[in-house]
């Protein structure tokens, strides 16, 4: 059995079903466009692209912890990049062509970005989780591990 080096794809457990009107009430127009309509923010414009403080990046839609700062790296792509997610926090769905996987929050199904594999970055997974900053909320609070 091969060792698992990337985030496991798991089914949504305890998902948050909401109608568009409910999402519009809690998200900004830009957050709604990205999380609910699968948009992409402009390259290099995101709040967290160059942030490398210690902490946790959570889903702006449902507050689920998604990424730890220890997995963030500077890929130079213009969006926050991570090499792995918090176990069970995301879902990956293949896109046409198979090179990229769409990433969504496992709890609220909000669109986060994409996974690109095999680019040769010196990371443990050789994956780049390219995430829209507007999909995230950063917290410096330490978790009890």
Percent of the chain with pLDDT over 70: 86
Domains and CATH numbers, the chain: 20-42+50-139 (2.170.150.20)
Provide the pLDDT for residue 98: 72
User: What's the Cα-to-Cα distance from 142 to each of 47, 85, 126, 137, 139, rounded to whole Å?
Assistant: 21, 17, 27, 14, 8
Alpha helices in the chain (DSSP H): 20-26, 29-35
Q: Which residues are catalytic?
A: 130
Task: Tell me the pLDDT of the chain averaged across its residues.
Answer: 87
> Which is higher by pLDDT, 112 or 95?
112
Burial label for 98, CB within 10 Å (0-12, 13-18, 19+), is exposed
CA angle 40/110/47 to nearest 5° reads 50
Q: pLDDT, tens digit, for every residue of 11-69?
A: 445 566 788 999 999 999 999 999 999 999 999 999 999 999 999 999 999 999 999 99
119 versus 13: which is more confidently predicted?
119
Bridge partner list, 91: 104
Residue 5 pLDDT more than 80? no
Measured CA to CA, the distance from residue 115 to residue 118 in angstroms comes to 10
The residues, ordered by sequence, that sit 6+ positions from 23 with a Cβ below 8 Å of its Cβ are 32, 35, 36, 61
Residue 10 has pLDDT above 90, yes or no: no
Q: Which of 4-18, 21-35, 92-106, 110-124 has the lowest mean pLDDT?
A: 4-18
- pTM, entire model: 0.84
């Amino acid at each position: 059995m091969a060792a698992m080096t990337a985030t496991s794809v798991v089914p949504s457990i305890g998902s948050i079903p909401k109608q568009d009107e409910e999402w519009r009430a809690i998200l900004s127009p830009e957050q709604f466009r990205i999380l609910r309509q699968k948009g992409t923010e402009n390259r290099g414009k995101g709040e967290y692209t160059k942030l490398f403080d210690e902490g946790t990046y959570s889903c702006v839609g449902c507050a689920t912890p998604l990424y730890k700062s220890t997995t963030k790296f500077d890929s130079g792509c213009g969006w926050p990049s991570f090499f792995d997610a918090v176990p069970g926090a995301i879902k990956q769905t293949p896109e046409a062509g198979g090179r990229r996987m769409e990433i969504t929050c496992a709890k609220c199904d909000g669109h986060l970005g994409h996974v690109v594999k095999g680019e040769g970055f010196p990371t443990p997974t050789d994956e780049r989780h390219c995430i829209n900053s507007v999909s995230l909320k950063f917290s410096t609070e330490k978790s009890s591990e």
